Amino acid sequence: DIQMTQSPSSLSASVGDRVTITCRASHPITRNLNWYQQKPGRAPKLLIYAASSLQSGVPSRFSGSGSGTDFTLTISSLQPEDFAIYYCQQNYNNPPTFGQGTKVEIK
């Protein structure tokens, strides 16, 4: 199975900050990488697919980049509703696997 490693595991930031989360795959996955946001007690929500494509309805302050083994999710200006856990997920091969998550907390 492909292992996905996110960093950091958690971070503290203020409203308006630029936030970057990284995700590394144990094997190259071209651009087969998705990002999800999860809030407490809720199902994950798709933000970015195919490494950099913004899911319909997701604010443009979210962006993704990368290919091969290294990927990033960037929030250009953190908003109060963005405090959540973020997961990367590879859909390059079976089984699809997730990173362990990055918790974004209020500073």
Partner 1 sequence: QLQLVQSGAEVRKPGASVRVSCKASGYTFTSYYMHWVRQVSGQGLEWMGIINPSAGSTSYAQKFQGRVTMTRDTSTSTVFLDLSSLRSEDTAVYYCARDSYSSEYTWDYWGQGTLVTVSS
State how far the Cα of 20 lies from the Cα of 72, in Å rounded to an integer. Answer: 7
Give the residues across from 70 on adjacent strands: 24, 67
State how far the Cα of 42 lies from the Cα of 8, in Å rounded to an integer. Answer: 22
Among 3, 9, 10, 53, binds partner 1 (CB under 8 A): 53
Among 23, 75, 89, 104, binds partner 1 (CB under 8 A): 89
Among 2, 11, 63, 101, binds partner 1 (CB under 8 A): 101
Across 26-61, the runs of DSSP E, i.e. the strands, are: 33-38, 45-49, 53-54
Smallest gap from Cβ 66 to partner 1, in A, equals: 16
Among 5, 20, 55, 72, binds partner 1 (CB under 8 A): 55
| Tokens 């933000």 found at | 47
Asked whether position 83 contacts partner 1 by CB under 8 A, the answer is no
Among 23, 62, 66, 97, binds partner 1 (CB under 8 A): 97
Give the residues across from 34 on adjacent strands: 89
Asked whether position 98 contacts partner 1 by CB under 8 A, the answer is yes
What residue type is 107 in one-letter code?
A: K
Select from 10-18, 19-27, 73-81, 92-100 the region that touches partner 1 (CB under 8 A).
92-100
